[in-house]
Amino acid sequence: MGEKELLPNLFRTEYQKIVSVLIYLFGIEHIEVAEDIVSDTFLSATELWSIKGTPDNPTGWLYTVAKNKTKNYLKRNTLFQQKLVGELQYASPKTEEIEIDLSVKNIADSQLAMIFTVCDPAISIDSQVALALNLLCGFGVQEIADAFLTNKEVVYKRINRGKDKLKESNIRIAQPSVTAINNRLDSVLKTIYLLFSEGYYSTSQNTTLRKDLCAEAMRLNYLLVENETTNKPAVNALLALMCFHSSRFEARVNDNGETVLYEDQDETLWNTELIEAGEHFLNRAATGDQLTRYHLEAGIAYWHTHKADTVAKWQNILNLYNNLLAIEYSPIAALNRAYALAKLYGNETGIAEVEKLNLSGNHFYYSLLGTLYTRLDNKKALQHFETALKLAGTDADKTMMSKHIERLKQNDLN
């Protein structure tokens, strides 16, 4: 990784860890204090590293500076420090020195506590997810807006409302109880799912795949799996889903940064270790009597790790989409189900199902129609791909539509 990419990557991976530890230490009412200290730490890194060069241990440097800035802040605010010393159970009565613990274990404990704190039912689901993405995942406001298909002003309001409500309710940050897990797990998993989805198909950064976001989502999910109290079937199902999708990352984008369609992917580039990990977590998810969207989507992703177009594969995928739409409808899932129908019963059947959806304004809708009409009616296929090109939001999608159009025109010439 080059020096230009190092600091933004560290901001993505370390900012939220340090923030979580400090909020865990200070309390929810001092979110802004924690954010200011960590932001100032990264500002110092930007200024000093540009002059003196990158330190040998950049992460260690950030942790040390964050600790020092926290101690300096406490020295300047003696009343705040005395309050902390009085409240913290582990503080020694013989000293006013507070330990800022940035060990791997305390970071994990802090983030686990924070995940369930910001997903408290006292605030709305939308604010829960936006606040968690912002505080715990390092998401910028624009990225959250893209993930929610809304605008920045709405996201700002959600984040601020969430913070205000947590402060008003004086919610204590603690390791999640059984009750908290039962009440808030759905919101926690939705947050992690959205984070992975933004990385898997990114729109905010005009690039199809952002592996850093996907890795962060998997890290947070793994925190839940590793903790005995949060190691639930749905948690394992979501991790299985992400493992299966991640296994094909190297084959999804070519050397020019262009998307490679599933049918054209080089199967030898698929990561077999991640596929095996996905199977492991999917097996662990197969306990209890609750069937979630994550179980079903993980099952669909599992079958996509089998490249061959067999009847059994597409019948299983179709059945899984049927169940998924029954418990949680989405237009994209309906489009994908129509493609599975086409693979089983022919393109005409798939086209009829897609056209029922009438998703005008969605480039995936026209792209799928273009694909299904190809060779049946190339003129209609071309029209649909041209519409998809106009609606496509990223350069990668526009390039893909242009290739379809060029291929169809070339075939007509031949």
pLDDT digits (tens, 9 = 90+) for 36-67: 999 999 999 999 999 999 999 999 999 999 99
pLDDT bucket at 9, cuts 50 / 70 / 90: confident
> Cα–Cα distance between 67 and 48 in angstroms, integer?
17
pLDDT at 80: 66
Q: Tell whether 97 and 129 lie within a shared domain.
A: no
pLDDT higher than threshold 70 for residue 88: no
The last residue of one of the domains, among 102, 122, 157, is 102
pLDDT at 28: 85
pLDDT bucket at 247, cuts 50 / 70 / 90: very high
pLDDT at 118: 87
pLDDT at 123: 86
Q: Tell whether 303 and 346 lie within a shared domain.
A: no
pLDDT at 79: 60
Q: Tell whether 227 and 243 lie within a shared domain.
A: no
pLDDT higher than threshold 60 for residue 99: yes
The last residue of one of the domains, among 102, 126, 149, is 102
> Cα–Cα distance between 207 and 188 in angstroms, integer?
26
Q: What is the mean pLDDT of residues 125-137?
A: 86
Pick the residue with more confidence: 99 or 230? Answer: 230
pLDDT bucket at 89, cuts 50 / 70 / 90: very low
pLDDT higher than threshold 90 for residue 139: no
Query: What would the pLDDT profile of 282-305 be if each residue is shown by its tens digit?
Result: 999 999 888 999 999 999 999 999
Pick the residue with more confidence: 91 or 358? Answer: 358
Query: What would the pLDDT profile of 17-41 be if each residue is shown by its tens digit?
Result: 999 999 998 888 888 999 999 999 9
Q: Tell whether 226 and 117 lie within a shared domain.
A: yes
Query: What would the pLDDT profile of 153-163 be if each residue is shown by its tens digit?
Result: 999 999 999 99
pLDDT at 41: 97
pLDDT higher than threshold 70 for residue 204: no
Q: Tell whether 368 and 404 lie within a shared domain.
A: yes
| DSSP H or E stretch at residue 161 | helix 152-168
Count how many domains the chain has.
5
> Cα–Cα distance between 245 and 199 in angstroms, integer?
11
Residue in 340, 368, 343 with CA at minimum distance from that of residue 354: 368
pLDDT at 63: 96
Beta strands per DSSP E along 211-267: none
Q: How far is CA 25 from the centre of its chain?
A: 26
pLDDT at 3: 63
Query: What would the pLDDT profile of 337-350 be if each residue is shown by its tens digit?
Result: 999 999 999 999 99
In this structure, of 219-228, 248-257, 318-327, the range with the lowest mean pLDDT score is 248-257
Q: Tell whether 287 and 339 lie within a shared domain.
A: no
The last residue of one of the domains, among 231, 251, 282, is 231
> Over the chain, what is the mean pLDDT?
88
pLDDT at 91: 43
Q: Tell whether 353 and 370 lie within a shared domain.
A: no
Q: Tell whether 179 and 244 lie within a shared domain.
A: no
Q: Tell whether 72 and 123 lie within a shared domain.
A: no
- Determine what percent of the chain is predicted with pLDDT higher than 70: 91
The whole domain housing 242 covers 233-307
Pick the residue with more confidence: 236 or 90? Answer: 236
What residues pair up with 259 in beta bridges, in sequence order? 253
Q: Tell whether 125 and 198 lie within a shared domain.
A: yes
| DSSP H or E stretch at residue 348 | helix 347-357
> Cα–Cα distance between 304 and 281 in angstroms, integer?
16
The DSSP secondary-structure symbol of 172 reads: P
Q: Say which residues have a Cβ less than 8 Å from residue 129's Cβ, sequence separation at least 6.
A: 119, 148, 187, 190, 191, 194
Pick the residue with more confidence: 329 or 84? Answer: 329
Residue in 239, 38, 218, 230 with CA at minimum distance from that of residue 116: 230
Reading the block at residue 331, the tokens are 């237009």
Q: Tell whether 224 and 249 lie within a shared domain.
A: no
Q: Tell whether 62 and 141 lie within a shared domain.
A: no
